[in-house]
A and B are shown apart, each in its own frame.
Chain A
């Protein structure tokens, strides 16, 4: 149980285009999902907190107009990188919180590698 999927697992796009990444909780409902960004050989940096049915809360320094987050249902959150540029190339990881007896544990997706040419 507690499986989180991400789609796509990797994507290559041209500079100036937009890319959407999906994060799904497959076997539980997640009222809260988190989006992280990880550069090579670095740690995970939280970008935003996504709550179902409400606007996402962005961390300081993260451009909300560039990284659009939509948490439309209890099993799906999407991250859209708008007008992507090479500096947006990174590994994006989502996590979902299931509640219950799991101490509000975060279950992580497998990540999405974005390369912007």
Chain B
């Protein structure tokens, strides 16, 4: 079974600084997707960024980028120029292959932004 591990229950960063959230996963599949989701206090899940396993290039979305190390099964999220609105729970998630497959979530990291 696939597992996703986030070893940092809480992280904090000064506003405008950069922070990196860690995620490791375990799978025997070769075709899969990795995601970072943000869950603010409203509890609405928001997709931050996705990475296809077959792509070597790391995904980026504005201030958000990932460091995808396939051999090490590591998928970290870097948030640059942190803003107060970035404060939330962040979940790393794994989905196998194609089609409507279920997501497997990590335990989550609570990110606090200090003004």
Residues of A within 8 A of B (CB): 31-32, 34, 38, 42-46, 49, 91, 93, 95, 97, 99, 103-106, 108, 110-111
Known A43-B105, A44-B91: A110·B99 in contact at CB below 8 Å: no
Count the B residues whose beta carbon is within 8 Å of the partner chain — how many?
Answer: 20
* 8 Å CB interface, B69-115 against A: 91, 98-108
Known A103-B50, A110-B43, A111-B43: A43·B91 in contact at CB below 8 Å: yes
Q: Tell me what chain A mostly uses at the interface: helix, strand, loop, or mixed.
A: strand
Nearest CB in chain A to that of B4: its residue = A43
B11 CB-CB contact with A under 8 Å? no
Residues of B within 8 A of A (CB): 33, 42-45, 47, 50, 52, 91, 98-108
CA distance A62 to B50 in the complex (A): 29
CA distance A10 to B115 in the complex (A): 33
Contact: B44 with A104, CB < 8 Å?
no
CA distance A69 to B6 in the complex (A): 30
B64 to chain A, nearest CB (A): 16
CA distance A65 to B78 in the complex (A): 43
With A93-B45, A103-B33 known, 4 other A-B pairs at CB within 8 A are: A43-B106, A44-B91, A46-B102, A103-B52
Nearest CB in chain A to that of B97: its residue = A104
B20 to chain A, nearest CB (A): 20
B87 to chain A, nearest CB (A): 15
Contact: A43 with B107, CB < 8 Å?
yes
Q: Which residues of the partner chain B approach A31 to less than 8 Å between Cβ atoms? A: 100
Q: Which residues of the partner chain B approach A97 to less than 8 Å between Cβ atoms? A: 100
Known A32-B100, A97-B100: A44·B43 in contact at CB below 8 Å: no
Q: Which residues of the partner chain A approach B100 to less than 8 Å between Cβ atoms? A: 31-32, 49, 97, 99, 104
CA distance A67 to B33 in the complex (A): 29
